[in-house]
């Protein structure tokens, strides 16, 4: 099979992936007849369920009337409607379109740096949170934790200053104190309330607010990377809906199109945009991609946003969030020595293993769950489920049962 797959070791005898020919709701159907409940929402993108008919129809309709138009010279109704709806939902008036989560982050970083340059007061420092993951392009890698993922490129990444993960309150407080009089910080970038790739690490809105407030007091910009946390994952539409401090720049992607098509957005405040509001050519943001503002992806994004206007979407989010919360509480009582974390739709269980991301549980539990018709993709020793809204409470319970029986099998329970 001539396909070089992402994040996948290729070697003689490596297992071949199932060939998925159909996906519906929360289920993936393979050519060989196997069926998997998708516990990962297709790398955190699927929101309302696979092949949701409303979004599928919006895409089909759009493909027949307008596919793509060069976005530097033209606009189109679907992109405008997406921008307007997001203005209403976030309070951020300017929307820059790109292709995926990494490009949404690249744009955010470029905007932040050029914002200061355009005002004749260049600032060069970016702050990020320990353990962060913001994507795989060079800027996004630079503001992400230095791990095995980034090792081969470490000489080419720009330097970033790291704030301690907020569970270490004293360290965070000391770090915030030490930056409070700095004049060289351009921006802080962080995943609000929930670091996904780091192992579903949760922190409180109080800490996000403390960081954002301190950063902003230095004159720097606050960038919220809601590529993962956006569209209901943490129980609210955006994680920053639970925070007092709103971002100057917001990155969206993944669930933006309901999980149908790639699209990234970088939203900014009026203050940020105003530094680019000029006929001077050096003040222009020179960034764009061939598919920027794609009309079919925009139609999918608009359909997703329309589904978020329905009461039933919110009821289902609350219902599944409640189930995950109950499961977490039960787990905590039953297995107090095995940490569990829950926020919104995310339930994560940290299996005992020093190896972290390269824990053997990653492949062993994944195979064990797949044999039982459930697709999980543990982040090393962190097993988690992130269901689409098409899921049933019984399916969430089944994930926990599978993890329990796996732990019994390997003698960890
Ligand atoms: C918080 C966050 N930011 C950015 C990205 C990168 O998004 P993409 O994979 O679409 O480039 C991810 C991907 O997992 C993410 O979790």
Confirm whether 254 is a catalytic residue. yes
pLDDT for 355 beyond 90: no
CA of 305 to the centre of ligand 1 (A): 20
Q: Which of 109, 135, 199, 346 to mutate to test the pocket of ligand 1 (most atoms within 8 A of CB)?
A: 135
- Please list every protein residue whose CB sits less than 6 Å from any atom of ligand 1: 100-102, 105, 133-135, 191, 196-197, 225, 227-228, 253
Judge whether 18 lies within some domain.
Answer: no
Nearest CA to ligand 1 atom 13: 135
pLDDT for the residue numbered 354: 80
Angle at Cα 112 formed by Cα 220 and Cα 74, nearest 5°? Answer: 145
Q: What percent of the chain has pLDDT over 70?
A: 100
Judge whether 33 lies within some domain.
Answer: no
384 near 24, Cβ under 8 Å? Answer: no
Q: Which of 7, 44, 253 to mutate to test the pocket of ligand 1 (most atoms within 8 A of CB)?
A: 253
- Number of compact structural domains in the chain: 2
Tell which atom from ligand 1 comes closest to the C-alpha of 253: 10
Decide which of 307, 341, 363 is a domain's last residue.
307
**Structural domain range at position 232:** 53-307
Confirm whether 11 is a catalytic residue. no
Decide which of 307, 338, 365 is a domain's last residue.
307
**Which strand (E) or helix (H) includes residue 374?**
strand 374-375
Judge whether 146 lies within some domain.
Answer: yes
Q: Are residues 328 and 292 in the same domain?
A: no
Decide which of 307, 339, 373 is a domain's last residue.
307
Q: Are residues 279 and 346 in the same domain?
A: no
pLDDT for the residue numbered 358: 85
CATH number for 180: 3.40.640.10
User: Pick the catalytic residue: 248, 254, 384, 406?
Assistant: 254
* pLDDT, average across residues 365-377: 98
Tens digits of per-residue pLDDT, 177-235? 999 999 999 999 999 999 999 999 999 999 999 999 999 999 999 999 999 999 999 99
DSSP H helical segments within 358-392, as ranges? 361-371
pLDDT for the residue numbered 405: 97
User: Where does the pLDDT of residue 412 fall: very low under 50, low under 70, confident under 90, or very high at 90 and above?
Assistant: confident
CA of 227 to the centre of ligand 1 (A): 6
User: Where does the pLDDT of residue 356 fall: very low under 50, low under 70, confident under 90, or very high at 90 and above?
Assistant: confident
* pLDDT, average across residues 231-260: 98
User: Pick the catalytic residue: 225, 248, 384, 406?
Assistant: 225
- CA distances, 35 to each of 41, 80, 228, 241, 308 (Å): 15, 39, 26, 36, 28
Where b means 16+ CB within 10 Å and e means fewer, 27-62 reads bbbeeeeeebbbbbbbebbbbbbbbbeebeebbeeb
Q: Are residues 300 and 317 in the same domain?
A: no
Tens digits of per-residue pLDDT, 281-309? 999 999 999 999 999 999 999 999 999 99
CA of 115 to the centre of ligand 1 (A): 23
Judge whether 31 lies within some domain.
Answer: no
Q: Which of 103, 109, 134 to mutate to test the pocket of ligand 1 (most atoms within 8 A of CB)?
A: 134
Judge whether 158 lies within some domain.
Answer: yes
* pLDDT, average across residues 85-98: 98
pLDDT for the residue numbered 357: 80
Q: Are residues 229 and 376 in the same domain?
A: no
Radius of gyration of the chain from Cα atoms? 21
Tell which atom from ligand 1 comes closest to the C-alpha of 229: 1
- pLDDT, averaged across the chain: 97
pLDDT for the residue numbered 64: 98
Q: Are residues 279 and 291 in the same domain?
A: yes
Tens digits of per-residue pLDDT, 392-408? 999 999 999 999 999 99
Q: Are residues 263 and 121 in the same domain?
A: yes
- Token pair of 57 as six digits: 């129809």
Confirm whether 225 is a catalytic residue. yes
* pLDDT, average across residues 143-164: 97
pLDDT for the residue numbered 240: 98
Where b means 16+ CB within 10 Å and e means fewer, 184-211 reads ebbbbbbbbbbbbbbbbbbbebebbbbb
Judge whether 17 lies within some domain.
Answer: no
Enter the pTM of the model: 0.98
Judge whether 138 lies within some domain.
Answer: yes
Q: Are residues 288 and 352 in the same domain?
A: no
Judge whether 192 lies within some domain.
Answer: yes
pLDDT for the residue numbered 341: 98
Q: Are residues 213 and 262 in the same domain?
A: yes
pLDDT for the residue numbered 1: 77
Confirm whether 168 is a catalytic residue. no
Q: Are residues 206 and 285 in the same domain?
A: yes
SS3 assignment, position 193? coil
User: Where does the pLDDT of residue 413 fall: very low under 50, low under 70, confident under 90, or very high at 90 and above?
Assistant: confident
Q: Are residues 58 and 93 in the same domain?
A: yes
Q: What is the C-alpha to C-alpha distance for residues 332 and 350, in angstroms, rounded to an integer?
A: 11
pLDDT for the residue numbered 181: 95
16 vs 222: which has the higher pLDDT: 222
CATH number for 321: 3.90.1150.10
CA of 98 to the centre of ligand 1 (A): 13
Q: Are residues 271 and 376 in the same domain?
A: no
Q: Are residues 269 and 379 in the same domain?
A: no
């Amino acid at each position: 099979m001539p396909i070089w797959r992402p994040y996948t070791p290729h070697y003689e005898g490596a297992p071949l992936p199932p060939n998925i020919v159909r996906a519906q709701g929360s289920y993936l159907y393979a050519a060989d007849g196997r069926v998997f409940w998708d516990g990962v929402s297709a790398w955190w993108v699927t929101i309302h369920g696979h092949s949701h008919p409303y979004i599928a129809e919006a895409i089909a309709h759009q493909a027949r009337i307008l596919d793509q138009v060069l976005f530097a010279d033209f606009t189109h109704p679907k992109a405008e409607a997406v921008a307007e709806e997001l203005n209403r939902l976030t309070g951020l008036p300017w929307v820059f379109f790109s292709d995926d989560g990494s490009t949404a982050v690249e744009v955010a970083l470029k905007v932040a740096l050029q914002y200061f340059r355009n005002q004749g007061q260049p600032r060069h420092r970016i702050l990020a949170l320990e353990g962060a993951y913001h994507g795989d392009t060079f800027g996004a890698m630079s503001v992400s934790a230095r791990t095995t993922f980034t090792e081969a490129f470490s000489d080419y990444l720009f330097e970033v200053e790291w704030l301690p993960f907020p569970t270490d309150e004293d360290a965070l407080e000391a770090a915030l104190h030490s930056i409070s009089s700095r004049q060289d910080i351009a921006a802080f970038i962080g995943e609000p309330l929930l670091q996904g790739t780091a192992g579903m690490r949760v922190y409180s809105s109080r800490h996000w607010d403390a960081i954002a407030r301190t950063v902003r007091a230095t004159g720097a910009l606050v960038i919220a990377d809601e590529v993962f946390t956006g569209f209901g994952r943490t129980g609210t539409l955006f994680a920053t809906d639970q925070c007092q401090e709103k971002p100057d720049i917001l990155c969206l992607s993944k669930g933006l199109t309901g999980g149908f098509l790639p699209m990234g957005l970088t939203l900014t405040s009026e203050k940020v945009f105003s530094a680019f509001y000029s006929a001077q050519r050096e003040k222009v943001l020179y960034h764009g991609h061939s598919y920027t503002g794609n009309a079919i992806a925009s139609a999918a994004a608009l359909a997703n946003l329309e589904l978020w206007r329905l009461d039933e979407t919110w009821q289902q989010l609350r219902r599944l969030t409640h189930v995950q919360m109950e499961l977490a509480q039960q787990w905590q009582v039953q297995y107090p020595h095995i940490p569990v974390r829950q926020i919104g739709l995310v339930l994560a269980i940290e299996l005992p293993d020093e190896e972290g991301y390269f824990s053997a549980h990653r492949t062993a539990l994944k195979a064990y769950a797949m044999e039982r018709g459930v697709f999980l993709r543990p982040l090393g020793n962190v097993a988690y489920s992130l269901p689409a809204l098409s899921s049933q409470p019984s399916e969430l319970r089944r994930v926990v049962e599978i993890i329990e029986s796996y732990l019994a099998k390997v003698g960890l329970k």
